[in-house]
A and B are shown apart, each in its own frame.
Chain A
Amino acid sequence: MGKEFFSYLKCRECGRQYPKKAVHVCEFDFGPLEADYNYEHIKHSISRSVIESRKQNMWRYRELLPIDGEPTVGLETGFTPLVKADRLAKALGIRELYVKNDAFNHPTLSFKDRVVSVALSRAKELGFKIVACASTGNLANSVAAHAAGAGLKSYVLIPADLEQSKVLNSLVYGTEVIGIHGAYDQVNRLCSEIAGKYGWGFVNVNLRPYYAEGSKTMGFEIAEQLGWKLPRHTVVPMASGSLLTKIAKSYQEAIKVGLIEEQPFTVHGAQATGCNPISAAFKAGTDLIRPVPKPKTIAKSLAIGTPADGYYAVHAVKSSGGSCEDVTDEEIIEGIRLLAETEGIFAETAGGVTVACAKKLIASGKIPAGESAVLCITGHGLKTAEAVAPHLPLPRLINPSLREFDALVANDTAVHAAAV
């Protein structure tokens, strides 16, 4: 004792301490609980070289994650590519740009694989046999897959109108998929009642203090992959606002434990205009989050009308000197296509939100053209294919004839340019 890295849970509002159990809300003032660490001990236990000697997955930052023993779930998750995006940089008009590509995460192609790895590793430590979640799709996919791999039974609760591929990507793992007639916030409310009654491990309800910390690994990786330094700007999509606050926290922790030098960084938040409670509050100059009762956007993975961490996200953005933006469905589609056509990366609708918001932030000078930025891409495009499909051309069809092919490419300028 006393030599643990992860000490206890602590209320973000009043600081009251709680034991490391499946609890997520302060009994006194209902504030959210967050993991607290012994940073002095961590500082003396890890270094760049220790981390670099470990396997390339998210658990290389294990001392800064809230579990007691060795991780047991998600051992191949994380350490996704940080792509230097020169062609997208040129298109957006910025000097130095990177894409942190969690569309490539293991095993379910979204950043949720990180949070679920932590939540289920902790769920096993706490003895849960059944795990569950409220989800807009990506989390459900990841809980279903990781639970199957860990031999846990799982229930995933989702709004009934999700993209087909996201539903299929949960069903295939043999999980219990429950579609709810209602918006995400209603699913979430129901889950909090179920968690209280059934005693299951809900990754984003009673296990939320553990789950949320998994997002930090995206930030640690960005810092390490940039050669142990921070990007000047980071653009992060916001649903509950948790990812943004945890990326800011990861940068602060990396400085605190001596992995990187003290340096300025700015985080910017991206939302869809059809569900923009955090961005709207920021733009109105308040931290009072007005709920969006009926979200209406193709970015369903960001459609949380009552964002649990909205207040903290506004403050993380503001205190770092950043901004929030939101974009229309048309701009989201353009963003997806721009990222695909310039960098060969197919992102889901949330990625289109991030790219399109970055475009606005650069155009307005909120991200200065001469500085560096990282865009956080959180999920794969095949998960939301039906949102993009109507906007793409159909393949051109011909018979297996060279003459027909000649006629087809006769007007393609690229062919003539290449032939010269």
Chain B
Amino acid sequence: MPIPVSIPTPLRPLTDNLDTVEVEGASVSELLIALDQKYPGIGERLLDAQGNVRRFVNIYVNGEDIRFLQDKETPVKPGEEVSIVPAIAGG
């Protein structure tokens, strides 16, 4: 079952301007691999050279930051929502 992933404005040039795309996978990690296969180039914007989620990129599964779940290994099930949100700079 495909999982909907919401894409932030700055990355939409890579997803044919779609704000939500659907990819398959059982974990965040699998979703990110599928996402990069479907939309080449998006992977390096989200993950650093070591494969870690970039410091100023937040990925949420059902509204929870995956850093406080199981990071990239956080499982995702059909019906759940995944969103990619750049950190807000300010203050």
Chain A residues proximal to chain B, CB less than 8 Å: 13, 24-32, 134, 184-185, 188-189, 191-192, 202, 204-205, 208, 239-240, 242, 288, 290-291, 304, 306-308, 311
The 9 closest A-B pairs by CB, nearest first: A240-B91, A30-B56, A30-B86, A188-B90, A304-B91, A308-B89, A29-B54, A204-B90, A32-B89
Known pairs A13-B55, A29-B54, A32-B56; A308 contacts B90 (CB<8 A): yes
Q: A30-B86, A240-B91 are in contact. Are A290 and B68 (CB under 8 A)?
A: yes
Residues of B within 8 A of A205 (CB): 89-90
Which residues of chain B are near A204, meaning CB under 8 Å? 90-91
- Encoded as 1 (CB less than 8 Å from any A CB) or 0, chain B from 41 to 65 comes to 0000100100000111100000001
Given A32-B56, A32-B89, A134-B91, 10 other A-B residues pairs in contact with their CB atoms under 8 A = A27-B10, A28-B45, A30-B56, A134-B90, A184-B91, A208-B89, A291-B65, A308-B87, A308-B89, A308-B90
Please, which residues of chain B bring their CB within 8 A of the CB of A290? 68
Nearest CB in chain B: distance from A127 CB, A: 22
Interface residues, chain B, CB within 8 Å of chain A? 10, 45, 48, 54-57, 65, 67-68, 86-91
* Count of inter-chain pairs, beta carbons less than 8 A: 62
What residue in chain B is nearest A24 (Cβ atoms)? B89
Q: Which residues of chain B are within 8 angstroms of A134 by Cβ–Cβ distance?
A: 90-91
CB closest chain-A residue, reference B71: A288
CB distance from B38 to the nearest CB of A (A): 20
Chain A hits for B67, CB < 8 A: 288
Report the bound CA distance from A27 to B48 in whole Å. Answer: 14
A184–B88 CA distance with the chains assembled, in angstroms: 12
- Chain A residues contacting B55 (CB-CB under 8 Å) are 13, 31, 311
Residues of B within 8 A of A307 (CB): 91
Does the CB pair A191–B56 fall under 8 Å?
no
Q: Whole-angstrom distance from the CB of A149 to the nearest CB of chain B?
A: 24
Contact status of A30 and B54, CB under 8 A, knowing A288-B67, A290-B68: yes
**In the complex, what residues of A have CB within 8 A of residue B56's CB?**
13, 25-26, 29-32
Residue of B nearest to A192 (CB): B88
Q: Can you name 15 A-B pairs with beta carbons within 8 Å?
A: A13-B55, A25-B86, A29-B54, A30-B86, A30-B87, A32-B89, A184-B91, A185-B88, A189-B88, A191-B90, A204-B90, A205-B89, A205-B90, A242-B91, A290-B68
- Report the bound CA distance from A27 to B10 in whole Å: 7
**In the complex, which residues of chain B have a beta carbon less than 8 angstroms from the beta carbon of A202?**
90
Instruction: Say whether B90 contacts A25, CB under 8 Å.
Output: no
Q: Which residue of A lies closest to B57 (CB)?
A: A30
- Smallest Cβ-Cβ distance to A306: which chain B residue: B88
A311 CA to B86 CA, complexed, in Å: 15
| A272–chain B nearest beta-carbon distance, Å | 15
A29-B57, A30-B56, A311-B55 known; A239 vs B91 contact (CB < 8 Å): yes
Which residues of chain B are near A189, meaning CB under 8 Å? 88
Point out the residues of chain A lying under 8 angstroms from B87, CB to CB.
30, 306, 308
Q: Which residue of B lies closest to A239 (CB)?
A: B91
CA distance A208 to B91 in the complex (A): 9
A205 to B90, CA, bound (A): 5
Chain B residue contacts of A184, Cβ below 8 A: 91
**Residue pair B10, A188 in contact (C-beta under 8 Å):** no
B19 CB to nearest A CB, Å: 15
Q: Which residues of B contact A27 (CB under 8 A)?
A: 10
User: How far is B88's CA from A134's CA once the two chains are assembled, in angstroms?
Assistant: 12
B54 touches A188 (CB 8 A): no
Bound: A28/B13 CA distance, A: 12
Interface centre among A29, A185, A240 (most CB of B within 10 A): A29
A93 to chain B, nearest CB (A): 34
Query: Please, how many angstroms separate the alpha-carbon atoms of A242 and B91 in the complex?
Result: 8
* Closest-CB distance, B89 to chain A (whole angstroms): 5
> Does the CB pair A308–B91 fall under 8 Å?
yes
Q: Are A25 and B89 within 8 A (Cβ)?
A: yes
Say how far A25's CB is from chain B's closest CB, in angstroms: 6
List the A side residues contacting B65 at CB < 8 Å: 291
Using CB atoms, name the residue of chain A closest to B54. Answer: A29
CA distance A298 to B45 in the complex (A): 39
